[in-house]
Amino acid sequence: MQVKDMMKTDVEFCSAEDNLMKTAEIMRRRDCGAVPIVDEQNCVVGMLTDRDICLAVAARNRKASDVKCKELINGEAIVCAADDKLKEALRKMRKHRIERLAAIGAGGELIGILSIGDLLPAVQRDKKLKKKVYATLEKISRPRPIVLRERESEKVER
């Protein structure tokens, strides 16, 4: 089975210049916990979660309307191809301890999102997939420390 067989394709997204208020509004309206961030070519540059927003706003005492998505994007976006096998997508989720992957097309453009929850209906029919899904859930559910990245303007000289 491939990612494209299980992913959701009706996906809303934000740009790096949008603020967290817009991202949170998409999450509220769509009842989802993550929003892909794309560039001008609709290529995924990151994914923001409700957890990211909560920590950025509460821990830094800032308004969501004052924080741009690009402030929270760091490193390379973790994505999968729509043609990838589900076991490869699950491997990425385990490795990076994430619940969702943006699915991209041949040109790198956003075409969907695969969530660990999207796979639960399929585990009843496939025992191998069931083992991989549960191993992934166990790995991503382990507690991890909260690490806030310092912004250049907030660093204190010592």
Give the residue from 16, 23, 36 showing the smallest Cα distance to 79: 36
- The torsion of the CA quartet 52, 53, 54, 57, rounded to 10 degrees, works out to 120
Q: Which DSSP symbol is given to 134?
A: H
Could you tell me the residue ranges of all domains in the chain? 3-143
Q: What CATH number labels 3-143?
A: 3.10.580.10
Instruction: Report, as an integer, the average pLDDT of 135-153.
Output: 74
Q: What is the pTM of this model?
A: 0.82
The CA distance from 68 to 18, in Å, is 6
Q: So what's the pLDDT on residue 121?
A: 85
Whether 39 shows a pLDDT value over 80: the answer reads yes
CA angle 35, 78, 59 (to 5 degrees): 55
Give the residue from 111, 116, 81, 83 showing the smallest Cα distance to 13: 111
Cβ 129 vs Cβ 119: under 8 Å: yes
Task: Identify the band that residue 75 occupies on the pLDDT scale cut at 50, 70 and 90.
Answer: confident
Task: Identify the band that residue 149 occupies on the pLDDT scale cut at 50, 70 and 90.
Answer: low
- Radius of gyration, CA atoms only, the chain: 16
- The torsion of the CA quartet 36, 40, 45, 46, rounded to 10 degrees, works out to -30
Task: Identify the band that residue 142 occupies on the pLDDT scale cut at 50, 70 and 90.
Answer: confident
Looking up tokens 């509460």 gives 58
Whether 35 shows a pLDDT value over 90: the answer reads yes
